[in-house]
Chains A and B, each alone.
Chain A
């Protein structure tokens, strides 16, 4: 602990749910210099503690809830990362969320929460500074995320606590279950909710009052953080996001970019977007702008439905992803019905993106006659039919009946089960549904989908450099909007300027890039051990074989050349071989030579 000059307390809260005890796990400056925190630290724990093929649902498997060094400091727009081996894809995964949860962990005096074990009965964790209580959650079990959140607030009696909870989906072992943070934000793409449900952990509440993050050189750090903040405020590109949130991108991608996914990626041209997009929501729905920590951008939009069946429903969105996946991808043309779907998915604690992918895939399968209503317990999904989708969502979250179990397999496994060429329209990468950017229209997004650690994730960075800076942003727990969009080109300088005075380091921008690559490569090693190589870093069939039928990018296709370029650029940038396996020299250069044996073993096993 004395090890740190600033930025970290040197202690991670280690919670064992089996024995209901907690201890302090020390972390050292040496490890933090390599893996930073959040996502990186989670990857470090995973590669060092797990053997290849580890079952993430084992009792001793962990979830790492990681704020990074920048959380809780004067740095604006910080986030929280949940890192673990995904029970959905079996790969190293990380899910980030906004809001104030991570900062509160820091102010409670912890650099992260490492959760392992499994409770016999449902519990929720009440963390108040150094004190941890294991509270009975049997009354909360079965409740939606919103109800659970309310119950926790009521029980703590403190409106200032921050929560992360799971819904029925997590309890019932649905692999696309998410963790909902502070009611409207979600860490969703990695199946974290399923893991928490497996551990019988219904929720976490954090309140930190006792500690402030130590800073090595305060005056310099405050100046650097202010500089970062001013860059955010001044950035022109943010003005649209301030007004419409990411919901405004729905129109942008339809009219201009040609990458708005529509009806299970059949096209990117969806004229009905004007009925469900950002401007329609601004006209008829939005009421408030909500921001994360000290963030000038307030990208979350909160609103209320004023009339009709769902009158009075207070919901968040549409964001680009939720509006794409549960809007245009399902052929929705009613703003109210779409918002109800979004809100219902949040309440059940299922990932908006994967759920939208699953529902759209099922609809197309029915359309093509590969699935009969009899296979779906009599349900007949149809584009734009919100009520049926809502019913399907419920079945999915409760794994109710044949259809619930079938849907909860996820698109990749569903396609395999259906057979008959269903794989041709199963839009997944590494077993996970794609997000709302069609890579035929938005080719650079393919880097994020294919080369990213989790697979199918829109959030990993477009292009090799962005993949690297995102690894850093998620580890220092900085919003990628800030690091990628705002400080673009200067991300390294801005981050180093903040990290140096905060941590008392003497980093150059080269050290920054090295740390980015170290984290990303360590995650890759984990995935290589699980059998991932260049053969998996590819887009699904439809993206490579079906030209876009309409829209501004009509005729576009993701070609074999595009793929080759993507592979060679990324592998080359990170120092991996042509099969996507980190080389020995690379691992040595990054100072993670303890992984060399693992890589060699995996190479032998998978003949790479």
Chain B
């Protein structure tokens, strides 16, 4: 399966030093040009400079974030996730979800890559059937040793409620960060644009925020967003427009 493989950029011999060198060359040239004539290099020139430099590997993105109020509920993240992992579109197999809250809010449900990984702590097998990939921060499942449907202690332990059972094998679906380049983020960024910015982001650094927010369940997030967005209706309750409770189907007398 593809998800076991690391993306090419990480396997390549090019090291972090190469990467820094590459960016330094490109950035340096740009600065030099600007300094000399005060001319900003044209786009084509800049591309030319970069293309001659050694190809820079992307820094592994280790943490997912969601700008929740930007979610439109299009689910392209779920699509991208299953296209990457399963080569097809199958949201029940996704490691990211979009949950409807009270019909009015779409909540992105993502793995927060907790430092203490309650899912791993909860795994009862020895050795653990889920481990963290140090390079990418993704959680990798060992399908051979995982107890599957009869256990799912990891799903129970997940504070973000992102772990679902695989509908075919019963084993948990763990966000493996697609080997350091999360596809959901790419899809979300592609979809977004004026006037709606992207919802999903990935960053090499967690800033501890990932821990602070991890206990926010999807329901809680939905509640927060409703409060934020739908003031004065802070609970998102349904209001009967006619002012009365909708009348029963029976006809009233005299009408």
| A400–B255 touching, CB < 8 Å | yes
Cβ-defined partner of A182 (8 Å) among B83, B86, B103, B167: B103
Interface string of B85-97 (1 = CB under 8 A from A): 0111111110001
Is B239 a contact of A314 with CB atoms below 8 Å? yes
- Chain B residue nearest to A399 (CB atoms) is B251
The answer for the CA separation of A292 and B75 in the assembled complex, in Å, is 8
Residues of B with C-beta under 8 A to A209: 92, 167
Q: State how many residues of chain A have any CB contact under 8 Å with chain B.
A: 67
Residues of A contacting B79 with CB < 8 Å?
74, 293-294
Residues of chain B within 8 A (CB-CB) of A292 are: 74
Contact A142 B104 (CB under 8 A): no
Whether the Cβ atoms of B242 and A212 lie closer than 8 Å is no
B91 & A107 in contact (Cβ 8 Å cutoff): yes
Cα A292 to Cα B72 with chains together (Å): 9
Structural contact, B233 and A143, CB atoms closer than 8 A:
no
Closest beta carbon of chain B to A405's beta carbon, Å: 11
Selected contact of B251 from candidates A233, A296, A313, A398, CB within 8 Å: A398
- B89–A213 touching, CB < 8 Å: yes
The answer to the question of B32 belonging to the interface, with a C-beta cut-off of 8 Å to chain A, is no
Q: Answer whether residue A302 sits at the interface, using C-beta atoms and an 8 A cutoff.
A: yes
CA distance in complex: A344, B247 (Å): 13
Q: Give Cα A168–Cα B242 distance, bound, in whole angstroms.
A: 14
How many Å from the CB of A391 to the closest CB on chain B? Answer: 8
Whether the pair B76, A294 counts as a contact (CB closer than 8 A) is yes
Residues on the A chain within 8 Å of B239, using CB: 310, 312-314
Q: Is the CB of B75 within 8 A of A304?
A: no
Interface core residue of B72, B93, B193 (most chain A CB under 10 Å): B72
Which one of A146-154, A451-459, A537-545 is at the interface?
A: A146-154
Scan residues 225-249 of chain B and give those whose CB is less than 8 A from a CB of chain A.
229-233, 236-242, 246-249
Q: Is B194 an interface residue (CB 8 A)?
A: yes
Partner of A298 from the list B72, B88, B90 (CB cut-off 8 Å) is: B72
A409 is an interface residue with CB less than 8 A from chain B: no
**Contact yes or no, B238 A400, CB < 8 A:** no
* Interface bits A208-237 vs B (CB < 8 Å: 1, else 0): 111111010010001000000110010000
Q: How many whole Å from A149's CB to the nearest CB in chain B?
A: 7
- Contacts A242-B194, A398-B249, A398-B251 given: A218-B242 contact, CB under 8 Å? no
Asked whether A239 is an interface residue with its Cβ less than 8 Å from the other chain, the reply is yes
- Name the CB-closest residue of B to A234: B193
Task: Judge whether A380 is part of the interface by a CB distance below 8 angstroms.
Answer: no
Contact of B73 among A142, A212, A291, A398 (CB under 8 A): A291
Cα distance A184–B106 when bound, in Å? 14
B244 nearest CB neighbor, chain A only: A394
Residue B23 lies at the interface, judged by CB distance under 8 Å to chain A:
no
CB of A289 within 8 A of chain B?
yes
- Whether A233 lies near B238 (C-beta < 8 A) is no
- CB-CB under 8 A for A233 and B190, given A143-B246, A287-B229, A400-B252: yes
The answer to the question of B21 belonging to the interface, with a C-beta cut-off of 8 Å to chain A, is no
Does B29 interact with chain A (Cβ within 8 Å)?
no
Tell me if B191 is interfacial: C-beta within 8 Å of chain A: yes
Q: Which of A257-315 contact B (CB under 8 A)?
A: 287-296, 298, 302, 304, 306-307, 310-314
Residue with the greatest number of chain A CB neighbours at <10 A, chosen from B88, B229, B252? B88
Q: Is A84 an interface residue (CB 8 A)?
A: no
Complex contacts, B87 vs chain A, CB 8 Å: 218, 222
Knowing A233-B193, A288-B229, say if A218 contacts B73 (CB, 8 Å): no
In the complex the two chains form, is B72's CB within 8 Å of A289's CB?
yes
Nearest A residue to B92 via CB reads A209
In the assembled complex, B100 has its CB within 8 A of some CB on chain A: yes
- For chain B residues 127-151, which have a beta carbon within 8 Å of chain A? none
Q: Does A80 contact B (CB under 8 A)?
A: no
- Do B242 and A74 touch (CB < 8 A)? no
Instruction: List chain B positions with a Cβ less than 8 A from chain A.
Output: 69, 72-76, 79, 82-83, 86-93, 97, 99-101, 103-106, 167-168, 190-196, 229-233, 236-242, 246-252, 255
9 A-B pairs with the lowest CB-CB distances in the bound complex, closest first: A209-B92, A291-B74, A312-B233, A212-B90, A291-B72, A142-B249, A298-B72, A401-B255, A183-B103
A sample of 19 cross-chain residue pairs with beta-carbon separation below 8 angstroms, ordered by A number, consists of: A107-B92, A142-B248, A160-B99, A209-B92, A210-B168, A212-B86, A243-B194, A288-B69, A289-B196, A296-B190, A298-B74, A304-B233, A306-B232, A312-B233, A313-B239, A313-B241, A314-B239, A390-B241, A401-B255
